[in-house]
């Protein structure tokens, strides 16, 4: 079945450091891929998405590229801020299996120190 695997956290970085959070997926079809962010005490917010191979999603300085050949969708940011501290979830939705649900990875907690 479909699944998402992302790197375990927590990830601790200093402000202005480069961020990479790895995400790989398994899907029977050609899924849409997402990154969601969950700030402390809040719900999930869509950060960015990509719906087909080689698409790059970007938002708020974060970006991720849909790589079909490596089944990956790694999240990157060139210079993190303290306000980026949150839990980041990689996710997929596969229209070939109905597409009525989103499958989430386990989440990666990011701490950014001033």
Chain residues that interact with another protein, rule: CB under 8 A: 31-32, 36, 42-46, 49, 51, 89, 91, 93-95, 98-107
Q: How many residues would you count in the chain? A: 114
Q: Would you say 3 or 79 has its CB closer to another protein?
A: 3
Report the sign of the C-alpha dihedral through residues 52, 92, 3, 37, in that order: positive
Report residue 48 as tokens: 């960015």
Q: Would you say 46 or 53 has its CB closer to another protein?
A: 46
Report the sign of the C-alpha dihedral through residues 4, 19, 53, 93, in that order: positive
- Taking the complex as a whole, the smallest distance from the CB of residue 81 to another protein amounts, in Å, to 22
- In whole angstroms, what is the distance from residue 1 CA to residue 81 CA? 36
Q: Would you say 31 or 74 has its CB closer to another protein?
A: 31
Residue 90: closest CA among 111, 70, 76: 76
- Taking the complex as a whole, the smallest distance from the CB of residue 48 to another protein amounts, in Å, to 11
40 contacts 88 by C-beta, under 8 angstroms: no
Q: Would you say 52 or 79 has its CB closer to another protein?
A: 52
- Taking the complex as a whole, the smallest distance from the CB of residue 10 to another protein amounts, in Å, to 12
- Taking the complex as a whole, the smallest distance from the CB of residue 16 to another protein amounts, in Å, to 29
């Amino acid at each position: 079945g479909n699944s998402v695997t992302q790197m375990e956290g927590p990830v601790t970085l200093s402000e202005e450091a480069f961020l990479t959070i790895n995400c790989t997926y398994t899907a029977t079809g050609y899924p849409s891929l997402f990154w969601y962010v969950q700030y402390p005490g809040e719900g999930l917010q869509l950060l960015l998405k990509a719906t087909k191979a080689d698409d790059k999603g970007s938002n708020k300085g974060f970006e991720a590229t849909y790589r079909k050949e490596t089944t990956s969708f790694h999240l990157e940011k060139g210079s993190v801020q303290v306000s980026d501290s949150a839990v980041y979830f990689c996710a997929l939705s596969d229209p070939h299996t109905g597409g009525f649900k989103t499958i989430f990875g386990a989440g990666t907690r990011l701490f950014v120190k001033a």
